[in-house]
Amino acid sequence: MDNRISITDLKAKKKLGERIVMMTCYDYPAARILEDAGVDILFIGDTLGMVVLGYDTTIPVTMDEMLHHTKAVVRGSSRAHVLADMPFMSYQASSEEALRNAGRLLKEGGAQSVKLEGGVRVADTVRFIVEAGIPVMGHIGLTPQSINQLGGYKVQGKTPATAVRLVNDAAALEQAGAYAVVLECVPAQLARTISERLTIPTIGIGAGPHCDGQVQVFHDLLGLFDSFVPRHAKRYTKLGAEIARAVRAYAAEVREGTFPTEKESFMLDKAVFSETARIA
């Protein structure tokens, strides 16, 4: 019997006033750690392209890469809801292609739902996927797959016209059957308005404290990178520095000959060793 958190559970949290905890997750050990820590949604975001695979943007990420990482997260978890991102050009060409790719993330990857970017313009595609029995989370505001069109990673909805557009986008996604919506880099007042108008949960990232849940990138939260920290991210530890310290200590011991010691070595029984030495 599947005991994972369902979309029904997630929607109920909004009605009960319980905040949803969502984090990006890209592999088996991270899935085990995050689930044990009580994270509700393990999100295999296409951010893996940047923080795991070293791409400059999320755009190069492929379906095969998403499937590879989704399978690992599923194997590392048993309770959390597993949400998989639909990468660039896996859903834009047609609703039929979007459905096939969403189906792969559930059937082959083992995810329980998928996420795609866009509002009004993708509403028909969202409806098509949902009607086929696949739960969909929407994503509006800063949509990284449209970075070339947006002209950079900028806060969205800062003018009356763009704010109204985001409100309409959120409403269109709810009407199309999305079970939740990510609001990325949206002014806090606007995110609050959208959250209050929707009956489905909003998940914020750089959208203030009034969303129904929050999502953060694993590597940002744990301080694994020093080169860039987004304004919306909070470092809860500096794990990158701790890892470097541990590796430097290991390297020093190897070079000094103090690792491994007898404690980390396997030994032959003395009689066996003597017999071996005699034969050799």
Domain boundaries, the chain: 7-237, 242-279
CA distance linking residue 97 with residue 74, whole number of Å: 24
Question: What was the pLDDT predicted at 2?
Answer: 64
7-237 CATH fold: TIM Barrel (3.20.20)
Per-chain mean pLDDT for the chain: 95
Tell me the mean pLDDT in the region 117-131: 98
pLDDT of residue 80 exceeding 80? yes
pLDDT of residue 258 exceeding 60? yes
CA distance linking residue 222 with residue 234, whole number of Å: 9
Residue of 45, 3, 186 lying closest to 195 (CA atoms): 186
Structure tokens at 226: 């020093």
pLDDT of residue 55 exceeding 70? yes
Q: Per the residue annotation, which of 184, 253, 262, 275 is the catalytic one?
A: 184
Question: What was the pLDDT predicted at 130?
Answer: 98
- pLDDT category at 148 given cuts 50, 70, 90 is confident
pLDDT of residue 1 exceeding 70? no
Give the range among 71-75, 174-178, 271-275 with minimum mean pLDDT. Answer: 271-275
Question: What was the pLDDT predicted at 213?
Answer: 98
Q: Is 184 a catalytic residue?
A: yes
| CA-to-CA separations, 144 to 33, 77, 116, 139, 167, in angstroms, rounded | 27, 27, 11, 10, 19
Give the range among 37-41, 70-74, 87-91, 221-225 with minimum mean pLDDT. Answer: 221-225
Neighbouring residues of 26: CB distance < 8 A, sequence distance ≥ 6: 44, 48, 51, 52, 69, 72, 73, 218
- pLDDT category at 273 given cuts 50, 70, 90 is confident
Residue ranges of E strands in the chain: 20-24, 41-44, 81-85, 113-115, 136-141, 180-184, 202-205, 213-216
pLDDT 10s digits, 35-54:
999 999 999 999 999 999 99
